[in-house]
Structure 1
Amino acid sequence: MDLTAIRSRMAGTEGRLYWRSLGELADTPAFREYLHREFPEQASEWNDPKGRRDFLKLMGASLALAGVGACTKQPTEAIIPYVRQPEDIVPGRPLFFASAIVHRGYAHPVLVESHMGRPTKIEGNPDHPASLGAADSFTQAALLDLYDPDRAKTVTYRGEVRSWSNFLTGAQGALTSQKSRQGAGLRFLTGPITSPSLAELMATILRDYPQAKWHQFDPAAMHGAPWSGASEYATIQHPVYHFDKADVIVSLDADFIGGGPGNVRYQRDFADRRRITDDRKEMNRLYTIESTPTLTGAKADHRLPVKASEVENIARELSLALGSGVAGQFPPAIAPAPPTASAQASVPQPGSPEIAKWLAAIVKDLNAHRGRSLIVPGDYQPAAVHQLARIMNAALGNTGATVTYAAPVEAMPVDRHASLAELASAMDAGQVEVLIIVGGNPVFAAPADLKFGERLQKVGLVAYWGTHVDETAHVSHWNLPAAHPLESWGDARAYDGTVTLMQPLVAPLYEGRSPHELLALFSPQGDRRGMQIVKDYWTRAFAGAGGWTMRDGDGQAFKDADTFWRRVVHDGFIAGSAVTAGGPGTSFTPAPAVAPPKPAPGTPGVAGAARPATGGGAPSTTVPAPSAPSAPPAPTSAVAPSAPSAPTSAVAPAAPPPAPAPAAPSSGGLEIIFRPDPTIWDGSFANNGWLQELPKPLTKLTWDTSAWISPRLAASRELHNGDVIELRYRGNTAKMPVFIVPGHPQESVTVFFGYGRRMAGRVGNAIAEAQQFNAYLLRTSDAPWFGHGLEISKTGDSYPLATTQEHHAMEGRAPVRVATLEEYKHDPAVIAHQGHTPPKTLTMYPEHAYDGYKWGMAIDLTSCTGCGACTIACVAENNIPVVGKEQVARGREMHWIRVDHYFEGSPDNPQSYHQPIPCMQCENAPCEVVCPVAATSHSSEGLNDMTYNRCVGTRYCSNNCPYKVRRFNFLLYSDWYTESLHPMRNPDVTVRSRGIMEKCTYCVQRINHARVDAKREDRQIRDGEIVTACQATCPADAIVFGDLNDANSRVSKLKTQQRNYGVLEDLNTRPRTTYLAAIRNPNPELGSTTASAQTERH
């Protein structure tokens, strides 16, 4: 990393300088060579070293997403007509069903599009308060998981195919033995549970097996429980933030934009408070104090990069400065520990000039906005930071205004890292005889010091319920296939506690069962279908059980239980059930005791007959009357959270394994920071090709992980992107390629867990070289998120990384336009002055007349967070193929909308800007005039249309497109023979073949659907009736589409704003897609650009 060249170029630049990578900023030979190939002028052609057969064999299912089409001969497919057509199914007309995708226990409400009985697209539920119609990338990509050919398909015992009846029979003896011992050797391991009906099932099991224990584990669980310890601020309460009411926000290493159960709604609320117009020139201000660069930090008006271990100290100083804490008199749970000598050297002291300046400005701003400010602690910070934030919010009058603390959404929340450690200790001591693992893949994801896979072999009977035959399945006795959420009945709660119902859209493709159906096997009522379990619970809740009061969206009582059930299944949620609206927390109470059903003659098993899981079925005709249920057993230490008075257990809990000795302070040691991967999370999405190929925010890396380091650390260690380093931490070793990230703390290294999978599936399996790129190999249970003592060394090897950060560059032009709020207030024309707009008469193109509709789009860069949800939405809607790492490295990714990321300022702490780039739908389109076969042409409504069966693949249009938004099928990226993928494709969109050019169409299929509906009803298309896929899913509501000929349409009004501009307008292309410039709101006391505290400190 040549920092001298970077400084020289920055010093010699007048005005603003935007750059997408350090290579572009330094103008390295490698960057110039890539630019030469991307903008070919007598440039050499890329050659394919691999044959087509080898390529398809290598990529497997990741290439199986594009389907068949165009001029390629297709295999014969038989058409089987309906004998009796279902009443609701009309060919060509999709149906929509409200449901939910559960991630980390929390419900993400969805509206699922179904064609002819097969789900083809997932979007957010527009009526649900946690979604408002938006969805994140994980939720949308769940569709591909449904059709994944590598899913666990059948019950197996030690690798041999069995049935659910065999499992029940095989478990009978073990359960009978446990029953006689009250379940002393029985353990359950699950993730967090917010489902009220599932929590009741678990409570019922523990009532019937009083000595059994329920353990919980989530690799991305919070760092310690924020309620641990004994103090006024240590009660179990769930925070819900109201960013739409906050004018000043302080983030303490909290990435509320980039992750978390509530990030979709949080993005909308944050963006709404930040949205400005010509009439409303007020917006919120965001201060971010963070370690690893995040999307939240990228949107911050001021960002302070610090080590993760420094955040707590800064939070204490801020609390003291606000007057919410007195030195030496913090509540006992958050009393500061004496710092070590090494910590004193690295943590900024109260007298630090840069910290003092920051704190003074923040305190002044917070005090000026009491009751309209908000302090948000990071999920991966210790409990003390959470409690300090709660104290400060209370002192500022924010509690009840910008933040609500309510009853827990999760059933029996615990410190999940400690819970898993206790289970590992019990297995090691031989105290676990039967273990039921409900998802989570702990053999892969457990901290390295627990040696979970080795200890699991000491358990007599292990049954694992999972979606794939993964690392945990391979060491378990029984492998039980999990049903996909779109195949299941269920319920769960959203981040705010809103109860969300799940209904199946398709019968299980394989033999999977839902978690409700699995746990029901161990309950007194035995084998029941999912619908029966969920409906039975909510029928009793309707009658008053569990403290529920049911009302419709208007606050009116329902006529009867059946009306209530039909309404909530139709809507997808129970109105008014949020904890912030007075809804109860998720209780842990067993079901009323009932006599078990009599088994049918000849029925095998211990809990009723095993039947295929169909996800449906009639409910029981007799619903137990609401009554006071039997008292649940006293929760054990594996379930109960720490509290001032610890509950007793029926048996003494096993002592947890001894904690590893803390790393010895070392002047040469670095801080290691652990984070879940932005696209495959904890590894559970590793086999999802859509997410693997989605460029990660900030780095645009695909298909791999990396160790993030700062430019200064890279320069001092002579490291470059892709150099493989060995990481040594607490006796553990791993290897990873490095990636140099501007704005990263200088003496820290961030590693992302989720990669290095050996048994994820044909897409997610790591090659031998990359199996060491596994951050779990370094993680310890007592320091799950950061720690000191990391040593790194260069191995001399290099690993190729496929990043799109420099792809489709616009040759040094400035596509983004930026101003501060004060600049914009003083002179709204400041945006127009940053570019040149030629007059409309300056053109040789014939003027088009748009007498009917005139489609256009506006994208607000102030609102856009760069999350990438629009990219996944476009992939799912338009049958866009996955091409694989090798093709991405060559610049051949097929995404129709990309999110460019620009930096401005010093590499030590630059400001960041995101810009989604779809097709601009130019009125003077350069691509149209160069196509020799008229495959790209202009429609009467202004769309730049593609006629696929005319395209002969000259690629002249791509060469002549200044925005680089056209995509060419260099190879046939489809799989005709994987049958499970066929139903996934959108039948309204042509599937392209090899040799075809493609691009964004403004979702013309949705335009056509609306046109047909309007014609049938003899009316005009209404504003907002057409919502493109990217617009529908955008959590920040940054994308608006509509008719420019309608002066009252939302998009027309946005385009009259003084912030509106077109990219590369000086080329006179007259793009229909325009942008609203990004506006920042910096504090004048800290300057208009973010100064780097790291520059002076390290």
Structure 2
Amino acid sequence: MHIKDTLPELYKIRRPLKVEDVRKRLAEKQGKEYWRSLEELAASDEFEELLHREFPRQAGEWDDPVGRRKFLKVMGASLALAGLSACVYQPPETIVPYVRQPEEEVPGKPLFFATAMPHAKGATGLLVRSNEGRPTHVEGNEMHPGNLGATDIFSIASILTLYDPDRSQTIQNRGDTRPYTAFLADVRTALDTLKTKQGAGLRFLTETVTSPSVAALLNQILKALPQARWHNFEPVGDGAAMAGARLAFGQAVNTIYRFDRADRVLALDSDFLAATPGNLRYARDFIEKRRVLAGKAEMNRLYAVETTPTNTGAKADHRFAVKPSELETFARALAPMLNVKGITAPSGSVPHADKLQAIAKDLQSARGKSIVIPGDYAPPVIHALAHAMNDALGNVGQTVVYTDPIAFGPNDQLTDQIEDLRALVNDIDAGQVEMLIIVGGNPVYNAPADFQFRERLKKLNEQKKLTAHLGLHFDETSEWCLWHVPEAHFLEAWGDARAYDGTVSIMQPLIAPLYRGRSALEFLTAFTDTPEKSGYDLLRDYWRTQPQMSGDFEHTWRRAVHDGIIAGTAAKEKTVALNTNWASQPAAASAQTTGGGQFEIVFRPDPSIYDGRHANNGWLQELPKPLTKLCWDNAALVSPTTARQLFNLGSEEATATYKGIEYMAPVIKLSFRNQTINAPVFIMAGQPDGVVTLHLGYGRTRVGRVGAGTTQQPVGFNAYALRFADAPWYAAGADVKTTGDTYQLVGTQLHFNMEGRDIVISKTLDEYLHHPNEKPEIVREGASTQPEEGTTRPLGEGIGTEKHEEPGPNDTLYTGFSYNGYKWGMVIDTTACVGCNSCIIACQSENNIPVVGKEQVARRREMHWLRVDAYFKGLAENPDGVYFMPVPCMHCENAPCEPVCPVNATVHDAEGTNNMVYNRCVGTRYCSNNCPYKVRRFNFLLFQDWTTPSLKLMRNPEVSVRSRGVMEKCTYCIQRIQNAKIDSERENGRQVRDGEIVTACQSSCPTNAIIFGNLNDQASGVSKWQREPRNYSLLAELNTRPRTTYLSALRNPNPEIQGT
């Protein structure tokens, strides 16, 4: 039986949306100005019926089609049942009390340790909370210049990966468990033979190395064995950026952007707010230049030229959609207008040619205060053009600086990673490889399809060569290696790593390796004369010789470990000379080798699971992607027009088969050269026609039971199968055909709707400066007339037949409550929110929120206490803008949820927070039904994993773990409030200081879009934000008096550019 046949009538495919209906409503301004899906944009009768059914018929009686056994597997880190952690031998342990308890060890009081999460694009400085020796939550290190206390989703979710019971737990040899001594003996025997040939035949394959100590150890091995070789390969690397720098300067350089100095920014297919080295710092600096508060009237301006809609494009004041093949033409046409020497405007058609003069004029008006930033995955010539434009605009040394690359290579020389891997493949074919050591990574899964790396490993195995793989999981590469060694998680090992600006962080372990894993530093000692040396000693021995640790080494070392950074290690700025020898090349220089089809393919790392390394992390799998809100899958993103063409539909027929809760997506077959994959279609607003975007990282087969799925229900499709070495990011000439099949995609875009009400409020900067206290025009459904010319509208009044005014302080029948002590509140700045989703994951980690699985998400049963809604404005083909709105519990003073609860399980406290008493809750769900904001979550099933031992270590002991039949919601991190109050009471009963309480969502936010504090303190940040003219309450006309309010979104469009 097909999956759609098992769903209630509510979810059967409805009649298609009509493009004419959509355009007519927009033309008449009768539809919604802001919309979250194409059906909402068309406002069909069927869609309206769906929205008014918060609890679909018989929703509580739906059976679980996969059975409770499989469902239990989804609940925790990796769908693992209890007992797997016991497969490792545990030595006898004796519980004894402290004779002299360490001063810092106070039962119930957590400790915090500085460390860093390594990444190919630069490490993230972290501060990790430890409860009685168990790391339980990750936050940013405020002392680290790379992120200034912010965190991303990958850093926060690393806690779940640490405790993942599907992690590799034993050393294996052809599937048999062996001790480390056996592996070491095998390596030493083979190494003794290779030493007679100076290491000829020994090959190391690593990911991008940003660890100084690991690079030094590898180069030490190469010095002892000069014929050995070290290869680098990273599936999502910076090869294009380095190649572009070589084109422009004749050498590889690292480019750092100073967004805190930039008034005008042009992004050339760059998602610098979410997917660029240094994105956390860039987002902070960019938004600070964009933040308009009392006394500040200036705002930067962003132009985004891109293919696939991104977080950066969503925040742009002007976004221009182009095909990958058109990007270089656009850049070459703009460059002469900026006085770039040696470049002539291309002949023929130029996309958005009518906007170029205005863009160039605006950039030139901000000489030395502008940035042209190319995307990491843009072709090298785009990077070279961006360097040339920045040079012409006088930005070099001001907003753009250059340093040496942060990554390391053999003998301190960077290599082209794809060509480096090609050289290894060729050497395997030539029989020149005797021993292959793969340190991290998963090349069998993510190497270019034309390299057929699995076949190369099989060939080495057939020739009885020694192959070994160090990895967190027994994955696709481990399966084809002779030896597999478990890798230690970065929270289990000593190490070091460089950030995007070169700053080095010391990584310290917060817990002993759960499965006796070894760090890369310790693993590589097997090829030295000290194979048993500890990572701690190796790290100290390396840094003892470095100039940054000169003087009193012990003092400097302890300071570096404590602070999380080594002072003086940031990369030094360097001067480079621009050459334009490449400038005369035709615009076809960036075109990729093509196939025989008519479509262009764009490959991008997935916003949630990146390149696939996080595929077994349930938090990230269930995290809605910023713009599509899909989870548990990837899809082929196409434009509405392309979708109609693919399925032979007329202009009056369907733009999408989006159905509100499920998306029964049609499946297409994509072919490029000799490779073919099937993928479900998702219609993406703002996508250029004729372009298909594929996200990498899915379709895993060996990773764990979260990420691999089953044959009947895989977790996504493998886009790497279409990725070739000469076309890693853009592929022209792909062929697309329909298959007639459908596939269920699930997303949260239309879950928990607040339909029919004014949600998003936005203005242009000019409108705000001239009328700061007036609400901008809001088009309400049913409005048939425009306001009269020249009239103004008081704050809160909507368009149409009803006014939309916020009730006054005395508009209530109830006696008001006087909050004499603390009065907690929150303000969210929608101008600052970039939709990164860090707040969602931080809340999940802090508050023990479970994973529910794809089937339950399809039924609107996801448990996130916080959601980030994305609202589009304008036409689906080219939206005028996208607005992100985080929606937690509002903690209403007149909370509609409270009076309807029959057992008083949801109550108001004396400080204004709306609290849940879990033990009282009997699961009537009356509160959820009565909540206009739809922020309450109900445990329909036992979503928590109570049995897997490792997951018990992960949970925050200060937050209750909820069970089946209990309602839950945002608590304003009440445990943090109480801890701060206890600390203040111990200090002579002082008041809690402003900024002393930082909620989990607030602490993770890279742009400081969330502020929390005491509203009774008129000097507090939250009080100041609430006094801003832009402050408004969500659904204020309901008189719920929410404690969480919003600052309306501001844009700064160029008045010379219309219609974008």
- Assess same fold via TM > 0.5: yes
Q: After superposition, give the CA deviation of every residue in 1:359-385 in whole Å (9 maximum; x if it has no partner).
A: 101110111000000000111111111
Q: After superposition, give the CA deviation of every residue in 1:468-518 in whole Å (9 maximum; x if it has no partner).
A: 011000100000100000001000100111111100011111120011111
> Whole-Å Cα distance in 2 between the matches of residues 818 and 355 of structure 1?
26
Contact 1:2 1:715 in 2 (8 A): no
> Whole-Å Cα distance in 2 between the matches of residues 303 and 21 of structure 1?
19
Contact 1:20 1:806 in 2 (8 A): yes
**Distance change in 2, residues 1:714/1:171 (3 Å):** same
513, 528, 536: which is aligned to 2:533? Answer: 528
Contact 2:241 2:380 in 1 (8 A): yes
Q: CA deviation at 1:36?
A: 3.4
Aligned to 1:690: 619
Q: Secondary structure at the match of 2:477?
A: helix
> Whole-Å Cα distance in 1 between the matches of residues 613 and 888 of structure 2?
29
1:935 aligns with 2:864: no
**Distance change in 2, residues 1:271/1:65 (3 Å):** farther
1:160 aligns with 2:182: no
1035, 1047, 1054: which is aligned to 1:1076? Answer: 1047
Counterpart of 1:706 in structure 2: which amino acid? A
Q: CA deviation at 1:79?
A: 12
Aligned to 1:1027: 998
1:473 aligns with 2:489: no
Contact 1:105 1:492 in 2 (8 A): no
Identity over aligned pairs, percent:
53
Q: Any stretches of 5+ residues in structure 2 without a counterpart?
A: 1-16, 83-92, 576-580, 582-590, 648-655, 658-662, 776-794, 799-803
Name which of structure 1's ranges 30-39 and 1074-1083 shifts more when overlaid on structure 2.
30-39
> Whole-Å Cα distance in 1 between the matches of residues 610 and 568 of structure 2?
31
Q: After superposition, give the CA deviation of every residue in 1:849-880 in whole Å (9 maximum; x if it has no partner).
A: 10000000000011000010000000000000
Aligned to 1:1014: 984
Aligned to 2:871: 902
> Whole-Å Cα distance in 2 between the matches of residues 51 and 756 of structure 1?
20
Q: CA deviation at 1:103?
A: 2.1
1:290-301 mapped onto 2 (5 Å cutoff): 290-301=306-317
> Whole-Å Cα distance in 2 between the matches of residues 313 and 226 of structure 1?
21
Aligned to 1:729: 672
Q: After superposition, give the CA deviation of every residue in 1:768-802 in whole Å (9 maximum; x if it has no partner).
A: 25377110111111100011111111111111111
Aligned to 2:638: 709
Aligned to 2:437: 436
Aligned to 1:752: 695
Q: After superposition, give the CA deviation of every residue in 1:261-288 in whole Å (9 maximum; x if it has no partner).
A: 3111111011111001131111100000
1:23-422 mapped onto 2 (5 Å cutoff): 23-28=39-44, 31-38=47-54, 45-50=60-65, 53-57=68-72, 59=74, 61-62=76-77, 82-84=97-99, 85-104=101-120, 106-227=122-243, 233-327=249-343, 352=349, 355-412=352-409, 413-422=414-423
Counterpart of 1:1079 in structure 2: which amino acid? L
> Whole-Å Cα distance in 1 between the matches of residues 399 and 347 of structure 2?
28
860, 883, 892: which is aligned to 1:913? Answer: 883
Aligned to 1:505: 510
Counterpart of 1:480 in structure 2: which amino acid? V
> Whole-Å Cα distance in 2 between the matches of residues 116 and 457 of structure 1?
46
**Distance change in 2, residues 1:771/1:847 (3 Å):** closer
Aligned to 1:853: 822
Q: CA deviation at 1:90?
A: 1.3
Q: CA deviation at 1:350?
A: 5.2
**Distance change in 2, residues 1:191/1:786 (3 Å):** same
> Whole-Å Cα distance in 1 between the matches of residues 475 and 248 of structure 2?
44
Q: CA deviation at 1:318?
A: 1.4
> Whole-Å Cα distance in 2 between the matches of residues 392 and 119 of structure 1?
47
Aligned to 2:780: none
925, 948, 951: which is aligned to 1:981? Answer: 951
Contact 1:224 1:415 in 2 (8 A): no
Contact 2:322 2:351 in 1 (8 A): no
TM-score (norm 2): 0.89
1:873 aligns with 2:873: no
Aligned to 1:596: none
Counterpart of 1:856 in structure 2: which amino acid? G
1:459-470 mapped onto 2 (5 Å cutoff): 459=460, 460-470=465-475
Q: CA deviation at 1:58?
A: 5.2
**Distance change in 2, residues 1:680/1:232 (3 Å):** closer
876, 894, 899: which is aligned to 1:924? Answer: 894
> Whole-Å Cα distance in 1 between the matches of residues 121 and 287 of structure 2?
26
> Whole-Å Cα distance in 2 between the matches of residues 773 and 467 of structure 1?
22
Q: CA deviation at 1:575?
A: 2.2
Counterpart of 1:470 in structure 2: which amino acid? D
**Distance change in 2, residues 1:170/1:355 (3 Å):** same
Q: CA deviation at 1:224?
A: 3.2
Counterpart of 1:903 in structure 2: which amino acid? F
Name which of structure 1's ranges 461-470 and 206-215 shifts more when overlaid on structure 2.
206-215
Counterpart of 2:967 in structure 1: which amino acid? M
Q: CA deviation at 1:923?
A: 0.6
**Distance change in 2, residues 1:949/1:990 (3 Å):** same
Q: Secondary structure at the match of 2:124?
A: strand
**Distance change in 2, residues 1:1069/1:79 (3 Å):** farther
Q: Secondary structure at the match of 1:426?
A: helix
1:892 aligns with 2:861: yes
Contact 2:525 2:531 in 1 (8 A): yes
Aligned to 2:808: 839
Contact 1:65 1:880 in 2 (8 A): no
1:1054 aligns with 2:997: no
> Whole-Å Cα distance in 1 between the matches of residues 826 and 535 of structure 2?
43
Q: CA deviation at 1:846?
A: 3.0
571, 575, 587: which is aligned to 2:567? Answer: 575
Contact 1:178 1:185 in 2 (8 A): yes
**Distance change in 2, residues 1:942/1:677 (3 Å):** same
> Whole-Å Cα distance in 1 between the matches of residues 1022 and 729 of structure 2?
44
Counterpart of 1:53 in structure 2: which amino acid? R
Q: CA deviation at 1:6?
A: 1.4
707, 717, 720: which is aligned to 1:773? Answer: 717
Q: CA deviation at 1:185?
A: 0.6
Contact 2:72 2:943 in 1 (8 A): no
Q: Secondary structure at the match of 2:260?
A: helix
Contact 1:676 1:682 in 2 (8 A): yes
Q: Any stretches of 5+ residues in structure 1 without a counterpart?
A: 68-77, 329-335, 337-348, 551-557, 584-643, 645-659, 1091-1098
Contact 1:367 1:396 in 2 (8 A): yes
Q: Secondary structure at the match of 1:1045?
A: coil
Q: Secondary structure at the match of 1:258?
A: coil
**Distance change in 2, residues 1:66/1:92 (3 Å):** farther
Q: How many equivalent pairs are there?
A: 971
> Whole-Å Cα distance in 1 between the matches of residues 55 and 716 of structure 2?
37
**Distance change in 2, residues 1:1028/1:58 (3 Å):** closer
Q: CA deviation at 1:171?
A: 1.1
Contact 2:1025 2:1031 in 1 (8 A): yes
Aligned to 2:594: 663
> Whole-Å Cα distance in 2 between the matches of residues 96 and 133 of structure 1?
13
Q: Secondary structure at the match of 1:471?
A: coil
Contact 1:802 1:885 in 2 (8 A): yes
> Whole-Å Cα distance in 2 between the matches of residues 674 and 258 of structure 1?
16
Counterpart of 2:732 in structure 1: which amino acid? H
Contact 2:241 2:376 in 1 (8 A): no
Contact 2:72 2:79 in 1 (8 A): no
> Whole-Å Cα distance in 1 between the matches of residues 244 and 830 of structure 2?
41
**Distance change in 2, residues 1:1047/1:581 (3 Å):** farther
Counterpart of 1:417 in structure 2: which amino acid? I
Aligned to 1:679: 608
